[in-house]
Amino acid sequence: MAAAITTDTTDQTPIPISSDQGKKLSPAALAADSVLQALKARNAAQNDAISADSGKGAAEAGHQPAAATHQPTRAMESRESLEWQLQQAYLLIAEFYEYSMEDIDSARYYYNMAASSPLNKSVYWKSNLFLAQHASESDSVLSDEASRRYRAVVAADSVPIEAANIARKALGLPLLEVPILPQHAALRIAESARSSGQTSMDSLLLLYTDVIRMDSLTRDGRSALFAKAFIYENVLHQFDSAKVIYKNLLTHSADSSYATWLEEKLLPPDSNSIFLRSDKELFGKREAVETLLQPAKAEDGWPPPEESLRGRRYR
């Protein structure tokens, strides 16, 4: 019978999280250990199934198992799938240690495991980039380790231009030109006109509208919507128009980080929302409050103007 292809990574199991050391595992180590052990168990089970199917199929056909030429291909595909998932698991554990536990040594260990194969393309370049930057921070000059990792990022497939340029800059290579999408270019024009302070509000609204028409669901489109709502609310005081935009943003961004802020702006009428009344009603209330807060002078000239009190002392 042909030997089954296995991907047993027992020899690669990190000692710090091994549960057979008789040590109590931390929650982070327990999570990492559980992920790896589950993948190994699944790997072993699938390889056993492949071996059994190969032997059974060959026996039923009256041939030796080696004659089933399609089985090695199936085993190889299974192995690659498991290795891809294992790389992804290593990356998730590494990021957990880096960002949640702030344990750089453990993070570096798992990034190194994740960077062991280019099979999972996104995991491969991310892990190599972290290891290269960490090696660069540790040494005053670019070490062989950092250079090797940066070159792996440059040569890898499916690397974003921004990440590739980080590696290319460290290696002294020419940077790749980052293409500017038409919508982003239009947003830059609108933001530049706004910061200049020389463009009318009506013209600014038209510029932002051009950005929104391209695609209101992109990051640049949402930025243009927020800018337009801000102008309506805080500059032109057209609260009804601002309310329409805020509702649109909340509808398409219910899971975003600013959803709570939008919900507060659109609270029901029995709350303190600024959208309780129409523009006309709100201006009437506002005018009354401003009039009430303005100090009224008595006929005898009291209180005296502030300018006349400067420099005086009273006992």
pLDDT score for 172: 92
Task: Give the pLDDT confidence of 47-85 residue by residue, as tens digits.
Answer: 666 666 555 555 555 555 554 455 667 767 777 888 888
Residues 173, 74 share a domain: no
Confidence of residue 19 (pLDDT cuts 50, 70, 90): very low
Q: List the domain range (segments joined by +) for residue 51.
A: 1-101
pLDDT mean across residues, the chain:
76
Total domains, the chain: 3
Q: Which residue has the higher pLDDT, 247 or 6?
A: 247
Query: What is the reported pLDDT for 18?
Result: 41
pLDDT for the residue 17: 43
- Alpha-carbon distance of 262 to 171, in angstroms, equals 45
Return the pLDDT at 15.
38
Q: Is residue 110 part of a domain?
A: no
Please say if the pLDDT value at position 157 is more than 60. Answer: yes
Angle, CA 143 vertex, CA 137 and CA 147 arms, to 5°? 100
Q: Say what the pLDDT of residue 289 is.
A: 53
Higher pLDDT, 195 or 25: 195
For residue 104, give the nearest of 84, 81, 130 by alpha carbon: 130
Is 310 a member of any domain?
no
The pLDDT value recorded for residue 206 is: 95
Exposed, middle or buried by CB within 10 Å (0-12, 13-18, 19+), for 279? middle
Residues 257 and 211 sit within 8 Å (Cβ to Cβ): no
Within 10 angstroms of residue 277's Cβ, the number of other Cβ atoms is 15
Question: Domain for residue 45, yes or no?
Answer: yes
Among candidate residues 46, 77, 101, the one where a domain is terminated:
101
In a 3-state reduction of DSSP, which class is residue 62?
A: coil
Q: Which of 101, 128, 143 is the last residue of a domain?
A: 101
pLDDT in tens, 169-225: 999 999 998 888 899 999 999 999 999 989 999 999 999 999 999 999 899 999 999
91 & 120 share domain: no
Q: What is the pLDDT of residue 263?
A: 79
Residues 49 and 12 in one domain: yes
Q: Which residue has the tokens 């198992």?
A: 65
| 108 located within any domain | no
Instruction: Categorise residue 278: left if φ over 0, alpha if ψ from -120 to 50, beta otherwise.
Output: beta
* DSSP track, 240-278: HHHHHHHHHHHHH-TTSTTHHHHHHHT--TTS--TTSS-
Mean pLDDT (whole number) for 139-164: 89
Q: Locate tokens 């327990």: which residue?
A: 30
- pTM for this model (two decimals): 0.48
The arithmetic mean of pLDDT across residues 130-137, rounded, is 89
What pLDDT does residue 7 have? 38
Nearest to 149 by CA among 158, 136, 165: 136
pLDDT of residue 25: 54
